[in-house]
Structure 1
Amino acid sequence: MLKQLARLSNEAEGHYASSAELQFIKDYIDSVDTRISAYKKIQIAEAEIVNKVAEIRSAAEPDLFAKVSQVDGASVCRRDFSNILRHSAAALLFDDHDRMPENFLLWYKTIVRTFKYDRAAGITYKVMQDVAQEYLTPQESALFNPILHLNQVVLG
């Protein structure tokens, strides 16, 4: 939303914005209550979502943390799950799908590739999508799933 507003500001300089150029504002306003509701639900349920994702993930691949030495791999992954969830919720709130790849995801992708967790990350972030839906309405999920799917594609 913020990038779209900045882009509109630049593109409409010297003339009035057309109805088509203003449509994204109307769309955002129509969805803002749903976005705020989903954001708050994710915020409240963050620990539960992260724990469920970690449990499902550990059950699917119990040897995952054997690769990590001198670090509690499980706690690091839980922290990373929380960070991804927080960044994803912010992208949802501001309707800014570009926010994820340009910020946190590119950095995290480097970590995933370094430890060769590509396949595991793809599975993990699909699981996160499934678990998050348990806490959201279908309308909220419809707005949040594309962001979580982007995480899955970029990281996996």
Structure 2
Amino acid sequence: MLNVLQQIAEIDDRYANDQELTELEQVSQHMVERLRLYQKLSQGEEQILAELYKRLSTTHSQLFILNGKDVSAQCRNEVQYTLHQAIQSLLLGEDWLQESFLLWMQTIIRSLKLQSVCNVVYSTLETLLQSALTPQESQIICPVIQQIKESLTQP
């Protein structure tokens, strides 16, 4: 998305051609959808996370116990931060998410050997979002959540 805008911005001595205008129109329509979803998710973040933890406590009550210690507060902070980054990527693009955030988070998850926990958390989050959002909205955000899950569950 940002690549198309960058290409259009590089037009100096001519008018944009029909293909470039069509791409720009598609990007602008897609951006409006992303902006609406961004607002919806950012305003509903607390409710989404509350429902996520409710589901996780019901299905995986011991998920946030690490070496006999309850690490749920730390995990909640990291999941909240990750969701925030996923929502930010709606505006900045998924490439930004990969470069800026996931490599760093992946290192932490691997060092603590929490890949299986991430698999449960982000699978549950994806299911939750699919049920809470319209199919069109889910098609925008769920690939981002899948990307996060895939990255954080790699051995």
TM-score (norm 2): 0.80
Counterpart for residue 83 of structure 1: 81
CA distance in 2, matches of 1:73, 1:24: 47
Counterpart for residue 74 of structure 1: 72
User: How many residues are matched?
Assistant: 153
The change in CA–CA distance for 1:64 and 1:14 in structure 2 (over 3 A counts) is same
Paired residues of 1:45 and 1:135 also in contact (CA < 8 A): no
TM-score (norm 1): 0.80
Paired residues of 1:105 and 1:151 also in contact (CA < 8 A): yes
RMSD: 2.6
Counterpart for residue 6 of structure 1: 6
- Structure ranking higher on relative contact order (CA contacts 8 Å, 6+ apart): 1
Report the residue type matching 1:42 in the other structure.
L
Report the residue type matching 1:2 in the other structure.
L
Counterpart for residue 40 of structure 1: 39
1:35 Cα deviation from its structure 2 partner: 1.5
Identity score, percent: 27
Counterpart for residue 109 of structure 1: 106
Aligned with 1:63: secondary structure?
A: coil
The change in CA–CA distance for 1:37 and 1:117 in structure 2 (over 3 A counts) is same
The change in CA–CA distance for 1:109 and 1:22 in structure 2 (over 3 A counts) is farther
The change in CA–CA distance for 1:27 and 1:121 in structure 2 (over 3 A counts) is same
The change in CA–CA distance for 1:154 and 1:8 in structure 2 (over 3 A counts) is farther
1:17 Cα deviation from its structure 2 partner: 5.4
The change in CA–CA distance for 1:13 and 1:49 in structure 2 (over 3 A counts) is same
Paired residues of 2:64 and 2:75 also in contact (CA < 8 A): no
